[in-house]
Amino acid sequence: MNKNDTEFLYDKGLLVVLSGPSGVGKGTVCAALRQIMPELIYSVSATTRAMRQGEQEGVNYFFKTKEEFKRMIENDQLLEWAEYVGNYYGTPRDFVDQQLDEGKDVILEIEVQGALQVKEKFPQGIFIFLAPPDLAELRSRIVGRGTETEETINSRMSVAKEEIELMDKYNYVVVNDEVEKACHRIQAIVLAEHLKKDRQIAKYRKWLKEV
């Protein structure tokens, strides 16, 4: 690691990427995490999927037409994007860059293909794979949500199986057996990442130079 990398780690916030198969409970865990870690800045994604009941523009997603989304891709406004079960999802780049520059920690709650793109561009991110306790449980969670057709459920399950194979690419695996436990595990990861020597040492070197 060169000096600039060390300075970078010291000055900027952490990019935490929470990913894993559909239905594993990323949304629920992320919402609960925001309650216990209000300092973690949540990145609101753009999507072309239809708004679900209870969702709000700019809170759950920025809802876009396919044309608008394609324009965002062309203008390089997305840090990552993926097509998932017939719709596009993506992370607006500027917001994330701005928050990290200000030293704030940012969390992305995204599917696996997008997480792998972020890893390519931003390997210093913290990649957390949220895993189901077992596959039967995963299916019942997808069905239980009650918002999906049989066809969508099957296609989400087959995507989920492929996604579990990609666990190896992540830094951490957190089993979502209970939301509260999963949140505390993630909180512990973020704390430990902040305490890593590489993130601390530049600060001490700077002080030593000053005394």
Return the residues of window 20-39 that contact ligand 5GP according to CB under 6 A: 22, 26
Q: Describe the crossing of helices 179-194 and 26-36 by its angle, rounded to 10 degrees.
A: 60
Nearer to ligand 5GP, 10 or 63 (CB): 63
70 in contact with ligand 5GP (CB under 6 A): no
* Residue-by-residue DSSP string for the chain: --HHHHHHHHHSPPEEEEE--TTSSHHHHHHHHHHH-TTSEEPPEEE-SPPPTT--BTTTEEE--HHHHHHHHHTT-EEEEEEETTEEEEEEHHHHHHHHHTT--EEEE--HHHHHHHHHH-TTSEEEEEE-S-HHHHHHHHHHT--S-HHHHHHHHHHHHHHHGGGGGSSEEEE-SSHHHHHHHHHHHHHHHHT-HHHHHHHHHHHHHH-
163 in contact with ligand 5GP (CB under 6 A): no
82 in contact with ligand 5GP (CB under 6 A): yes
Minimum distance from CB of 25 to ligand 5GP (Å)?
10
Per-residue contact string for residues 96-115; x = within reach of ligand 5GP by CB under 6 A? -------------xxx-xx-
Nearer to ligand 5GP, 13 or 114 (CB): 114
Minimum distance from CB of 4 to ligand 5GP (Å)?
29
90 in contact with ligand 5GP (CB under 6 A): yes
127 in contact with ligand 5GP (CB under 6 A): no
Of residues 69, 80, 106, 129, which one binds ligand 5GP by CB under 6 A? 80
69 in contact with ligand 5GP (CB under 6 A): no
The binding site for ligand 5GP (CB under 6 A) comprises 22, 26, 45, 49, 80, 82, 84, 89-91, 109-111, 113-114
